[in-house]
Structure formats: structure tokens, C-alpha cells
Amino acid sequence: MDSNRNFRVLQSTGWVLTTLTEARNRADLFIVAGSDIHQHHPRFFERIVCNEASMFADDPPKRTVVFLGDQLDQSAVKGKRIGEVLSLPRSARSHRRNSRRHARHEQGRHCLGR
């Protein structure tokens, strides 16, 4: 029962796999999945994603920011280090998932000779 509760906490709050300092200095791809982080942490993009300097490079590469979800606020993603900003709405992901499921189902029917 406790593992289900812990998993729900993980689903609702996310999981950090690196430190914010490492992300600020090294990351070239940020994926924002289903959370309007700009409303909960207004300076996140300013301090972590859009910062112009890096500890390890004089001319750091541009970053790509991908938003997964509907109606996520992208207004804070701007600056010299931002290359591309992409958005993938939830409906597009579920459509692609259903298409793959249908293709696997049809492939299984073909293999069984039906």
C-alpha cells in the first residue's frame, strides 16, 4: 500500500535525476512534461534554462525545450541560448499510441493467419 502512495507522489511531483546546477551548465535538452512549471516556479526558466553563461564553455550550445502537454505556458522560454521550442499536445501523443497499438494488433492477426 505504501508503494502505491509513493508512486502517486512521484507521478504528481516528478523526479529529479540531476542537480539544477548540472542542468544549468550542461544540458542541451529540457523536457517539460505535463506541468506548468512557470506558474509554480516563476524564475525556473530564467535561472536554469535561459541563462547565458556556463561554467564549462565560453560559447555554450543552444538548447532545445520540449513541452509535453496541452496549454503549457511557454512565455518564459526566451534568450540567446534557446534554439528550438517544441510543443507536443497530449492528443497527438495519444493518437500515435493508439495507432501503434492498432498496428501491433493487425500484425498479430496477420501472423496467426486470420
- In the predicted model, what is the mean pLDDT of residues 34-52? 88
Predicted local distance difference test score (pLDDT) of residue 94: 57
Domain that includes residue 97, residue range: 2-111
Instruction: Report the alpha-carbon distance of residue 50 to residue 41 in Å, rounded.
Output: 14
CA of 65: how far to CAs of 54, 88, 107, in Å? 17, 11, 35
Predicted local distance difference test score (pLDDT) of residue 30: 94
Please tell me the total count of domains within the chain: 1
Instruction: Report the alpha-carbon distance of residue 97 to residue 3 in Å, rounded.
Output: 27
- This prediction's pTM: 0.64
Mean pLDDT computed over every residue of the chain: 80
Edge-to-edge order in the sheet of strand 63-68: 29-33, 63-68, 82-88
Which of 3-7, 71-75, 81-85 holds the top average pLDDT? Answer: 81-85
Contact 63/27 with Cβ under 8 angstroms? yes
Query: pLDDT band for position 58 (50/70/90)?
Result: confident
Q: Which residues contact 114 (CB under 8 A, 6 or more apart)?
A: none
- In the predicted model, what is the mean pLDDT of residues 12-34? 86
User: Would you tell me how many other CB atoms lie within 10 Å of the CB of residue 49?
Assistant: 21
Comparison of pLDDT for 70 and 17, the residue scoring more = 70
